Chain A
């Protein structure tokens, strides 16, 4: 009996191999794999597909970008805003922004159909924004809307009006185009659970009803997400259906691209470098990600909270010389040429290259200067005694490598200096990182992307800002009030020339008084198959900065 079973099973296996071989042979004969379908190998699985719940920088944003539209959009070529569901970009010149900068009016496009067949009106727009603000999910980005908006109004079916709490130079760039401001179908939400303050909508987390060029087809958890071309799209129709392959080993993604199974893949730049010269593969590189890779200094370490190995005093980073010394000691070239494989730029400033207000002439840290670092450590009084400090980060990615470069840089400087790299699982890091006060002296990650300098300044530089408060910047700035007032001024300055001048001044000031060690600004690079036409990337779109609707094969 047993004999019979395994024998027939094996016979089947061999027959299967034979058929399989002949099948591949025929599929190899074709020029283009998967015609009519774009296969994108993504890094992460989304945690939600609901614009009101998605966290900026998270995998779900990629899908939301394709399936939902927003009032305004950013085109592939330049950072300029372009109309989308609103037919005009509001400005004071065209009268759609009131003189005092408080009221924004959006004319809404007519004849736009949702994927469920209902028609878009200004009511859907108001509903979408009000919904996100009412749910106010802690994981999502509703705060961006809530902080800026005083009230929303439907003037008529095709006119939508917003009143702000205070004038803002960045409302259009950082709020209206963000994924949380995506327009969802009121009918679809109301038919599936409606709005509940403080709790996620399970239908919307796993389904999508938008107006975008793609409609949502399926999400096979841990496997793939499928999108179909939406034929009744108001703009130019997309060409290819999309299958997003989720997760898995990064090496396998690269193999798949080589084999022509995948058309585009997300990986670290170091993988891309290996693909140079690969047959049938084009490497696209252009522009920079807007997520500076940084190491944070904690100036607000709670009493005896540090790991046992750490010998530094709690006020270690209060001394600007120590922060400068770290910035001088870091081996920028090693990081750029090693882990980043040359894809990136030195930019030690918190206003990324490519963002309004970045001053390319401002002084910056770009090369290791060990002599200067030694001098500063001597002045600060740590040279002879030495120190040991831990830096916490997520394991298995660029951040961990950044920490290793820091470790090698600092330990090379003086054998009495020790850096312990604690590379932990992402969830452990997130947990540690969300504590206030933070129980580690240093941590490494990247910044959240934004389209306006004010976001970076508020979040990462302002002494009363989000990180300013957690890290206790007021304990260490040479002149914290000057920093704060410059940032506050720039936030409400509507004249671009004057605004840029303020940001230049800030950059010069912060060079002498760095609150972060910014290792590099990572380059935007992606490898794709040659047969993919119309390839474009826009760093202002959420990672991986692609709109699939633009592509063809």
Chain B
């Protein structure tokens, strides 16, 4: 009952938040001046500039422009991207698939590293391995990713030739069809092992760069909940039964410590999403982040607005789901006790 009310309240508030975000985004981009720069070349006469202004309705008052923009969105028209030289909606789906694939792969890396490091440290609390692990995990969150990424590239791509750059090998990529745009999934659907390895192979370095950054949050949560679990009575009971410490840790304590950790994984989503910007630039990953960075520098406001609006809505939805799961787990915990 209480949970249902909570979800209902969150869902009702969602459109208001989205409206708020859309206004912030629109006002913000317009504060910097008219989006006309990207459509101009430097030798245009004032008459020509006026023509272009009229082409994009930029001669209207700001609030009228907002309505044009908002109406366009409801009709599926997000404007013309000057950077991609195409309507935003034409380019968006492919880039989104690329970014999601990277973010999810990075998430997997972060979860694996985070849980392993957290377990390792939690089981050796306040000893040297614990401190060392903490430094390793926190280092990930403290490394400038654009700097770390290029160091990895120099070593593994340019010097050792062990890793590729970009998203796929063009010849392998064109040999299969792409119904989803997520290459690993496409490769599995096509049943092509070589395409699958190619996709994975291209994913490793960028996913490692990005995933390492998100490791600290998960490792921290895992460590502290494991520490807490290890002090529970049932652990002592298990030990008393003569179970090996390894078994106690793996079968019991870690499994229970994972429950609160799962909720924190949702929190890394925002981090991963914004991390794609620099990682995509460095690794030539053709996703939303790189497109966004280009758009920012070249004043492509249509793309900028779509990107910010989209990521915010996504972020809101993910947070909603995470909070609901958390509330659910929390309730179960209270009920259980």
Chain A residues within 8 Å of B, Cβ to Cβ? 2-3, 6, 9-10, 12-13, 16-17, 19-21, 23-24, 28, 45-48, 55, 58, 138-139, 198-199, 205-206, 220-224, 226, 243, 245, 247-249, 251-252, 255-256, 258-259, 261, 425-428, 430-431, 433-434, 436, 445, 448, 459, 466
Report yes or no: A48 in contact with B286, Cβ–Cβ below 8 A. Answer: no
**8 A Cβ contacts from B194-247 to A:** 197, 200-201, 204
Report yes or no: A255 in contact with B44, Cβ–Cβ below 8 A. Answer: no
In Å, the complex CA distance between A220 and B299 comes to: 21
In Å, the complex CA distance between A434 and B38 comes to: 12
In Å, the complex CA distance between A428 and B161 comes to: 40
Best-buried of A199, A255, A431 by chain B (most CB within 10 Å): A431
Chain B hits for A223, CB < 8 A: 166-167, 286
Among B3-11, B128-136, B289-297, the one that faces the other chain is B289-297
In Å, the complex CA distance between A261 and B86 comes to: 28
Specify which of A2, A9, A17, A258 is in contact with B258 (CB 8 Å cutoff): A2
Q: Indicate whether A221 sits within 8 Å of B86 (C-beta atoms), given known contacts A139-B39, A448-B43.
A: yes
In Å, the complex CA distance between A255 and B282 comes to: 11
Q: Specify the chain B residue showing the minimal Cβ separation from A443.
A: B42
In Å, the complex CA distance between A45 and B170 comes to: 19
Specify which of A6, A23, A243 is in contact with B108 (CB 8 Å cutoff): A6
In Å, the complex CA distance between A249 and B38 comes to: 21
Bin the interface of chain B by size.
35 or more
| CB of B190 within 8 Å of the partner chain | no
Specify which of B34, B42, B112, B162 is in contact with A21 (CB 8 Å cutoff): B162
In Å, the complex CA distance between A248 and B153 comes to: 14
| CB of B84 within 8 Å of the partner chain | yes
Q: Indicate whether A430 sits within 8 Å of B204 (C-beta atoms), given known contacts A21-B162, A199-B55, A259-B158.
A: no
Report the minimal beta-carbon distance from A33 to chain B, rounded to whole angstroms: 10
Chain B hits for A58, CB < 8 A: 41
Report yes or no: A47 in contact with B85, Cβ–Cβ below 8 A. Answer: yes
Report the minimal beta-carbon distance from A117 to chain B, rounded to whole angstroms: 23
Q: Apart from A221-B84, A427-B300, A436-B45, what 13 extra A-B contacts exist at CB < 8 Å?
A: A20-B197, A24-B163, A138-B51, A220-B286, A248-B281, A252-B150, A425-B297, A427-B298, A428-B37, A431-B34, A434-B49, A448-B43, A459-B43
Specify which of A138, A222, A243, A459 is in contact with B286 (CB 8 Å cutoff): A222
Return 10 A-B CB contacts under 8 Å, by A number: A10-B112, A16-B204, A24-B162, A47-B82, A205-B85, A224-B170, A249-B150, A431-B40, A434-B42, A466-B43
Report the minimal beta-carbon distance from A447 to chain B, rounded to whole angstroms: 11
Report the minimal beta-carbon distance from A440 to chain B, rounded to whole angstroms: 13
Report yes or no: B200 in contact with A222, Cβ–Cβ below 8 A. Answer: no
Chain A hits for B291, CB < 8 A: 221-222
Chain B hits for A245, CB < 8 A: 166, 284
In Å, the complex CA distance between A252 and B299 comes to: 23
Specify which of A221, A248, A425, A433 is in contact with B42 (CB 8 Å cutoff): A433
Q: Indicate whether A10 sits within 8 Å of B108 (C-beta atoms), given known contacts A19-B197, A28-B161, A430-B41.
A: yes
Chain B hits for A221, CB < 8 A: 84-86, 91, 94-95, 291
Q: Indicate whether A252 sits within 8 Å of B49 (C-beta atoms), given known contacts A3-B255, A6-B108.
A: no
Report yes or no: B298 in contact with A206, Cβ–Cβ below 8 A. Answer: no
Report yes or no: B200 in contact with A255, Cβ–Cβ below 8 A. Answer: no
Best-buried of B45, B85, B170, B296 by chain A (most CB within 10 Å): B85
Report the minimal beta-carbon distance from B190 to chain A, rounded to whole angstroms: 17
Report the minimal beta-carbon distance from A448 to chain B, rounded to whole angstroms: 7
Report yes or no: B108 in contact with A19, Cβ–Cβ below 8 A. Answer: no
**8 A Cβ contacts from B102-126 to A:** 108-109, 111-112, 115
| CB of B33 within 8 Å of the partner chain | yes
Contact with A along B272-288 (1 / 0, CB 8 A): 00000000011110100
Chain A hits for B25, CB < 8 A: none
Q: Specify the chain A residue showing the minimal Cβ separation from B200.
A: A16
Q: Indicate whether A222 sits within 8 Å of B85 (C-beta atoms), given known contacts A9-B108, A138-B44.
A: no
Report yes or no: A426 in contact with B112, Cβ–Cβ below 8 A. Answer: no
Q: Indicate whether A434 sits within 8 Å of B40 (C-beta atoms), given known contacts A13-B204, A19-B201, A425-B299.
A: yes
Report yes or no: B297 in contact with A426, Cβ–Cβ below 8 A. Answer: yes
Chain A hits for B111, CB < 8 A: 6
Contact with A along B61-102 (1 / 0, CB 8 A): 000000000000000000000111110000100110000000
Chain A hits for B108, CB < 8 A: 6, 9-10, 13
Specify which of B161, B197, B298 is in contact with A425 (CB 8 Å cutoff): B298
Report yes or no: B258 in contact with A255, Cβ–Cβ below 8 A. Answer: no
